[in-house]
Structure 1
Amino acid sequence: MNAVTRAYDFGAPLARLADHVQPLLLLALRLYIAWVFIKAGLTKIEDWDSTLFLFTEEYKVPLLPPAIAALMGTAGEIVLPPLLAIGLAGRFAALGLFIVNIMAVVSYPALWEFECPAAVESHLWWGVGLLVIAVFGPGALSVDRLLGRRRD
């Protein structure tokens, strides 16, 4: 048995284990990111006057009037997370939240001024997670799979 065969034999069980764990990891990723965004959306609808103030004074969403930006951003944070969580139109939900996430980073200049880089890093990690779901799909533990929309 040569070195390549031995390396493959060692890696094969790990690959099989990863295949079994992947659906659970994708589910956990979907639930975590959905939780983050739905909390943000619920906070916005809890005090709409404050939300409009923030979109008027703090957030600088390009090309959109503040009230429209507030409505679209909040709608995305309320409608898309449940879809992502259950994996219904999972890729669409992930791409939609990716756009909401990018707009948050672009439109809130103070985010880059914080002494603690965790705020920006959180947005970057959420973006990466959303891209993973958009590219690979929501996984085996999703309504999309149940409905047979996409075989991953």
Structure 2
Amino acid sequence: MPDDGRGTLAPTGWRVPAALAALGALAGLFVANSVSGLPVLPWSAIPTLLLLAFAEAFTARRTSRRIRREPGTEPMEPLSAARLLALAKASTLFAALALGFFAGMALAVTDHLALPTHRAVFLTCLGTALTAGLLLAAALYLEHACRVPEDRGDDEDRS
């Protein structure tokens, strides 16, 4: 197959997010074990990531309807779809890394849950990891929504 100079963009597989989550978990374990006197983490990341996940899921639903040209929707501009795809790819990478990092930190403090500071860190990290997982799912849904459906009209014309 000759290279015509045009690049192709493949859908995000499971390997890159899984590798980033594993690297993030190792980093979270390392940070939690190397810092003496673990500070209480702010809980503000939980609603922020939840809001981002909701926004991306809502956008994915609208994008899917517009790309399929359902009645009552305007067709989507290709540049807008490309921008949403870039957002989905970036969100996927960030969410996988955040999921791993905060899950690793939560795992690191499970031995000391009797201490109030560690319990607060555990709950904050667990909540942040769960909302990062929701953002990961919403980003993958947005990426899937940006796919152009197969053109069935060409197959019928050829036969």
TM-score with structure 1 length normalisation? Answer: 0.30
Q: Which structure would you say has the larger Rg? A: 2
Higher relative contact order, chain-length normalized (CA < 8 Å, sep 6+): 2
